[in-house]
Amino acid sequence: MLRGMMMRLLAAHKPAVLAIVVLQFVQTTANLFLPTLNASVIDDGIVKGNTDLILRLGGWMAAIAAVQVAAALAAGYFSANVAMKLGRQLRQELFAKVQSLSSQEVGTFGVTSLVTRATNDVQQIQALAVLVFTMLVAAPAMGIGGIVLALNQDVVLSGIVVAIVPVLVLIMYVIVRRLVPLYRQGQVLIDRISRVLREQIIGANVIRAFVRQAHEARRFAVVNRELTRNNLQSALMVAGMLPLIMIVVNLSSVAVVWFGGHRIQAGDMQLGSLTAFIAYILQILIAIMMAMYVLMTAPRAAVCAERIQAVLDTSPAIADPPISRAGLPPGRRTPGGTVEFRDVTFAYPGAEAPVLEGISFTASPGTTTAIIGSTGSGKSTLLNLLPRFLDATSGDILIGGHNVRSLPLHFLRDSLSLVPQRAYLFSGTVAGNLRIAAPHASDADLLRALRAAQAEDFVRELPHGLHSAVSQGGTNFSGGQRQRLCIARALLRDAPVYLFDDSLSALDYATDARLRQALAPLTRRSTVIIVAERIATILDAGLILVLDQGRLVAQGTHTELMRTSTVYQEIAASQLALGGRL
Amino acid sequence: MTAPTATTTAVSSGGAGAWATGRRLLRLLRPFTWRMIAAVAATCAFVALNVSAPKLLGDATDVVVEGVFGGTFNEQKLGALLLVVAVMYLGASAFSWVQGAVTATAVQRVSYRLRAAVEDKLARLPSAHFDEQRRGDVLSRATNDVDNISQALNQLLNQLILSVLMLLGSLSMMLWLSPILAVIALVTVPFSTVVTVLVARKSQAHFSEQWSTTGELNAHLEEYITGHEVLKAFGRQGLATETFTNSNDRLFRTSARAQYVSGAVQPLLVFVSNLNYIAVAVVGALQVIAGAMTIGGVQAFIQFSRLFSQPIGQIGGMVTLIQSCIASAERVFALLDAAEIPADASALPADGAGQHATADTRTSGAVAAGGRVVFDAVTFGYGGGSPVVRDVSFTAEPGQTVAIVGHTGAGKTTMVNLLMRFYELDSGRITIDGTDITERSRDELRSMIGMVLQDAWVFTGSIRENIEYGRPGASEAEVLAAAEATLVDHFVRSLPDGYATVLGNDGDTLSQGQRQLITIARAHLAGRSILVLDEATSSVDTRTEVQIRQAMQRLRHGRTSFVIAHRLSTVRDADLILVMDHGRIVEQGNHHQLLSAKGHYSRLYDAQFAGGEESLRAAESGL
């Protein structure tokens, strides 16, 4: 997984990788060359008493040192550049992918986990890339060089070298195999740490109101302890790796002296070879230790690669249809906004009972269709099927005569303007939030939309008007203000279909009434579908759908329903009761 | 939080801030002083064994040499020596392991404490803080930055001691061999220091920027993923991608620079030490020719000077590691140093654990009698801005229901925020049963109040846990009773896992109305003496609301209640109605008094309530 990902990402940087290899080769060679020149200083300079030669050789050595530092610096530059580019690309890919995922798919991963994957997990892979580039040439060169030189000295004694390599490989294998599950768990725990903290930030007021800080601290401590234990376990394992390898290599040098000593006694080996041999074993040890730095980072990076790949491999259940634009109406959105549901059923995967069952109705342009029903009866779900936040399990949904599944997503969603139930605003300014719906809208357009949404007054009263700051989620506005800003945002888009998901709940009746009045001329040619709790809000709707436990139990106008639908009558009665009349 | 200013201050104040942060980081290790001493001792033992073992190995070689030249090969002596060497190597490895394990344990405990400190801090930050700072950035400090500190500290503590010991060891060996050449070798120290300092000056800023940009990117991601449906609905993924790409590019540039600049230290130091090596070789050679030194002496010296320069290079490399660590630590400490909620006036210190413990025991206490709430000339504006509540005065007698009406944005929710002390008054005072709310601890105050907010907050956990949140340790029967009274039971029964159903992902498996019912059940179970209902049922359908109405009335009975609602019934039945406009109470009284006054309320009533009701009645009469 990790290797595949690295290969795929590095393919785009072949020249840079090649440059790194060459530069590292140059700098390693230069470094090895200095002692050789030093040897000539002794052999040719000192022995012959040639002061000139000593100075000349000194000059050469300085030149080589300069080449070496230049090559090392250049290699460092390319390494940093390529490694960080890999990170940038992974983050970009992740972000693009996340944007194509449905809410359910985002939910399976969890918001914080996706965020962790794009930052922390990517960092681990970057770190590994930097190390690989640094050790890429040096470690294998030194290791292989050491082995070759050892073989050159004495083939029989080299058996020891041949024997320690598998032992070292085994040690690494055993440790890495145990590290991988630990690291996997560790990244999940980082997700959980973020999740608990995120919930604590979002729910800060509720936690304080119920004085549950201590409980929250305990909830956090549980995860924190688990993460600490996990990190400690992996750190201890990594800490154990180095001493184990040192033992093997050091004991092998002891073995070299023992067996070498006997071979020398037997006259099978030269005395000088023994000292050389120990030096080579040390060189192999250093190479292995360098490789170890890479190997210590590799398991965590591998786990991270796995987690990133899992996101990248998710094929969004809701995607553009695989057809061309052929058969599509011209323009960016559907010309007509007739919305038709044909025997639509929706069930969450694995759920026993469907949320919606056998829903059929038609909503025509220029009319308002209202959906009413008890809490949890599937009203919002029904609305979410239109922009394909969810896909119907069976049945067809048509908009302007086209099946929503046959339309490219951007085309479909451009044809809709939605006010979501959760009035979510982004951090930034009021104007910035409104322009999400219409990037090129002028300030005058914004004010017009705000006026219709009954939001102009309070926005004008803000210290910086349209350019006043909005905090994340819009928490610096009251619930009713947020809803109206979201309505204004939706109104900025001249769409064939408007969807209001329980968007007037936080408004008082007067504002609600004024808003609906202002809405009428703006949405005259459009299809309006509105989820509401209050009958007063939907009194003039051309069509009212009454949902009960996922079924469409009645549809018609208010007057018709008051005559025919017991559920609707109950709803009406309940509102009069709440109004204090019945 | 703005990256550019943070960068410039990091550059200009350079050392001072970084040193302070470094010292503070070290202070975190103080509880582990004994462990650190043990780690240093283990390292010393490791170095001693590791250095002397080769000497004995050399002796063993001499035994072999003796065999070749002397003719007698003492196999037993060789075996004995090698056995000692083997034991020494085993010991060295054991000490190395002890050192690694002790350090890892200390570092992980420090990370644990840092994360716990961040969490504890969140509980003590004023609500205003969360209005200003983005969630994702806070999360990044608790995860990415702490992770970075932990990894860096681990590597530092492991290598720094070892490198310093190696440095001292080889320096003393050189001094012993040749003081003159040792001086030449020592010349590299100032050079190396200058190189390191020059590089470090540059890289510090990059590291600060790298981690603040990581926080920024985290914030973007958290925000965009949370609001991804809105972006999709408006086809504005492009907009988000643009902002994200900008941050991503900046993160790339800044981390590539940080990596490159810090990575340059090692090659540069190798260069310095190579120059020194060349100088030693040349000067040494000339000395030999002059007869001042032997070839063997020069050879040995070169070896030690290499030994000497290796740790210098390593220490130089560690300086940049320290910088990255400090850049992260600065971010964590900045969060920990953020202005807190002013300390409670009561005897309880604003110290996390102590306060928590006492507060929790009180939570389960029975409903206190009383609850006379008085607002006296209260004025408040968010962030010290223009007042959103002006000179508000009223009295709520124990057991009364107070309805707050007025247009959206008139300051209704702010009144609740002030009563709960989520924000502190600019002037005036609020008393409960004669005691100023600032004279109690916040937790004590809040333990008297049950609250249901419009934004129904549920956390990852079962439905049962979410209800029980109102009163920890409530019995199964009590939870069930609260759930039944608030009709939560009704929909929970239809869920396959019932009360054990786990709510994840901001509770999106439930509808908004269902989440609101759960929060009502929570307050119901909590049973406090004062009740605050802020649009508690805005997303609950009216049939359900009629059914929980009795429960709500029972809940309000005998409790002083503050209600913000659009429903006429709640407002009409209230003992006191406060009519708010632009932060002021323009009228107060009960329904009949206010109607007959023919003032603000009656106009509001006609416009707000009568309209809807009349059309309903008209519709009904049309039957």
Best residue of A160, A206, A249 to probe chain B, by most B CBs closer than 10 Å: A206
**Share above pLDDT 70 across residues of chain B, in percent, rounded to a whole number:** 87
Nearest to A267 by CA among B399, B119, B71, B341: B71
How many angstroms from the chain centroid is the CA of residue B523? Answer: 29
Q: Which amino acid is at A574?
A: S
Rounded Cα distance between B415 and B68, Å, is 99
Mean pLDDT over the full length of chain B: 80
* CB spacing of B93 vs A535 below 8 angstroms: no
Rounded Cα distance between B313 and B308, Å, is 9
Q: Are B359 and B444 in contact (CB under 8 A)?
A: yes
Q: Are A256 and A278 in contact (CB under 8 A)?
A: yes
Contacts of B407 in chain A (CB under 8 A): 508, 510-511
Partnered with residue A554 across adjacent β-strands are A546
What pLDDT, on the 0 to 100 scale, is given for residue B353? Answer: 38
Q: Which CATH superfamily is domain B14-337 in?
A: ABC transporter type 1, transmembrane domain (1.20.1560.10)
> What residue of B is the nearest CA neighbor of A371?
B541
Per DSSP, the three-state class of B126 is: coil
Q: Which of A61, A410, A427 sits opposite B278 (nearest CB)?
A: A61
Q: How confident is the model at residue B307 (pLDDT cuts 50, 70, 90)?
A: low
For residues B122, B124, B128, B132, the Cα torsion angle rounded to the nearest 10 degrees is: -30
How many angstroms from the chain centroid is the CA of residue A126? Answer: 15
Rounded Cα distance between A200 and A222, Å, is 15
What pLDDT, on the 0 to 100 scale, is given for residue A85? Answer: 93
Angle A424-A425-A431 (CA atoms, 0-180°, nearest 5)?
150
Rounded Cα distance between B268 and B192, Å, is 8
> What residue of B is the nearest CA neighbor of A191?
B143
Q: Are A512 and A539 in contact (CB under 8 A)?
A: no
Distances from the Cα of A279 to the Cα of A153, A162, A243, A253, angstroms = 12, 16, 19, 9
Rounded Cα distance between B49 and B91, Å, is 7
Best residue of B47, B218, B278, B510 to probe chain A, by most A CBs closer than 10 Å: B278
Distances from the Cα of A179 to the Cα of A6, A173, A299, A306, B154, angstroms = 20, 10, 7, 14, 17
Angle formed by the axes of helices B14-28 and B179-226, nearest 10°: 80
Contacts of A272 in chain B (CB under 8 A): none
Report the side by side order of strands in the sheet with B449-452.
Answer: B449-452, B530-534, B560-564, B401-406, B576-581, B584-589
Q: Are B381 and A238 in contact (CB under 8 A)?
A: no
Over 80: is that where the pLDDT of B366 sits? no
Architecture of domain B365-448+530-543+558-623: 3-Layer(aba) Sandwich (3.40)
Angle formed by the axes of helices A443-452 and A509-522, nearest 10°: 130
Contacts of A473 in chain B (CB under 8 A): 226
How many angstroms from the chain centroid is the CA of residue A61? Answer: 50
Q: Which residues of chain A are under the pLDDT cut of 50?
A: 580-582
Nearest to A516 by CA among A495, A540, A535, A493: A540
* CB spacing of B362 vs A211 below 8 angstroms: yes
- Give B450-527's CATH code, choosing from 3.90.1150.10, 3.20.20.80, 3.40.50.300, 3.90.960.10: 3.40.50.300
Highest-confidence segment of A332-346, B95-109, B520-534, B558-572: B95-109
Over 80: is that where the pLDDT of B352 sits? no
Q: How confident is the model at residue B370 (pLDDT cuts 50, 70, 90)?
A: low
* CB spacing of B226 vs A413 below 8 angstroms: no
What pLDDT, on the 0 to 100 scale, is given for residue B348? Answer: 43
Q: How confident is the model at residue B76 (pLDDT cuts 50, 70, 90)?
A: confident
Q: Are B247 and B213 in contact (CB under 8 A)?
A: yes
Q: If 0-12 CB within 10 Å is exposed, 13-18 middle and 19+ buried, where does residue A327 land?
A: exposed
Q: Does A239 touch chain B (CB under 8 A)?
A: yes
Best residue of B147, B265, B466, B608 to probe chain A, by most A CBs closer than 10 Å: B147
Q: How far is B251 from chain A (nearest CA, A)?
A: 8
* CB spacing of B549 vs A578 below 8 angstroms: yes
Q: How far is A3 from chain B (nearest CA, A)?
A: 22
Q: Which of B73, B352, B453 sits opposite A265 (nearest CB)?
A: B73
Q: Does A39 touch chain B (CB under 8 A)?
A: no
Rounded Cα distance between A423 and A418, Å, is 11
Rounded Cα distance between B552 and B533, Å, is 10
Rounded Cα distance between B328 and B210, Å, is 9
Query: Considering only residues 88 to 107 of chain A, which have any Cβ-Cβ distance to chain B shorter than 8 Å?
Result: 88, 91-92, 95-96, 98-99, 101, 103, 106-107
The residue-averaged pLDDT of B133-150 equals 87
* CB spacing of A213 vs B359 below 8 angstroms: yes
Other C-beta atoms lying within 10 Å of the C-beta of residue A63: 11
Backbone angles phi, psi at B581, to 5 degrees: -145, 125
What pLDDT, on the 0 to 100 scale, is given for residue B12? Answer: 35
Per-residue pLDDT reduced to its tens digit, B458-496: 888 888 888 888 888 888 888 888 888 888 888 888 777
The residue-averaged pLDDT of B7-32 equals 68
What pLDDT, on the 0 to 100 scale, is given for residue B7? Answer: 33
Structural tokens at position B399: 């057991």
Query: Considering only residues 269 to 288 of chain A, which have any Cβ-Cβ distance to chain B shorter than 8 Å?
Result: 271, 274-275, 278
What pLDDT, on the 0 to 100 scale, is given for residue B609? Answer: 56
Q: If 0-12 CB within 10 Å is exposed, 13-18 middle and 19+ buried, where does residue B394 land?
A: middle
* CB spacing of A574 vs B271 below 8 angstroms: no
Q: How confident is the model at residue B621 (pLDDT cuts 50, 70, 90)?
A: very low
A473: left (phi > 0), else alpha (psi -120 to 50), else beta? left
Same fold, B14-337 and B450-527: no
Best residue of B51, B64, B283, B382 to probe chain A, by most A CBs closer than 10 Å: B64
* CB spacing of A69 vs B267 below 8 angstroms: yes
Nearest to B344 by CA among B445, B426, B449, B430: B445
How many angstroms from the chain centroid is the CA of residue B474? Answer: 31
Domains annotated for chain A, with CATH where assigned, are 92-313 (1.20.1560.10), 337-415+496-502+523-577 (3.40.50.300), 418-494 (3.40.50.300)
In chain B, domain spans: 14-337, 365-448+530-543+558-623, 450-527
Q: How far is B238 from chain A (nearest CA, A)?
A: 10
Cβ neighbours of residue A155 closer than 8 Å, sequence gap 6 or more? none
Over 80: is that where the pLDDT of B594 sits? yes
Q: Are A457 and A519 in contact (CB under 8 A)?
A: no
Contacts of A220 in chain B (CB under 8 A): 115-116, 119
What pLDDT, on the 0 to 100 scale, is given for residue B347? Answer: 43
The DSSP output letter for A354 is: -
Rounded Cα distance between A278 and A257, Å, is 8
Rounded Cα distance between A550 and A356, Å, is 4
Distances from the Cα of A112 to the Cα of A187, B350, B473, angstroms = 11, 30, 30
Residue that wins the pLDDT comparison between B342 and B430: B430
* CB spacing of B61 vs A275 below 8 angstroms: yes
Q: How far is A38 from chain B (nearest CA, A)?
A: 7
Handedness of CA B190, B192, B193, B195 (dihedral sign): positive
Q: Which amino acid is at B194?
A: V
The DSSP output letter for A42 is: I
What pLDDT, on the 0 to 100 scale, is given for residue B14? Answer: 46
The DSSP output letter for B74 is: -
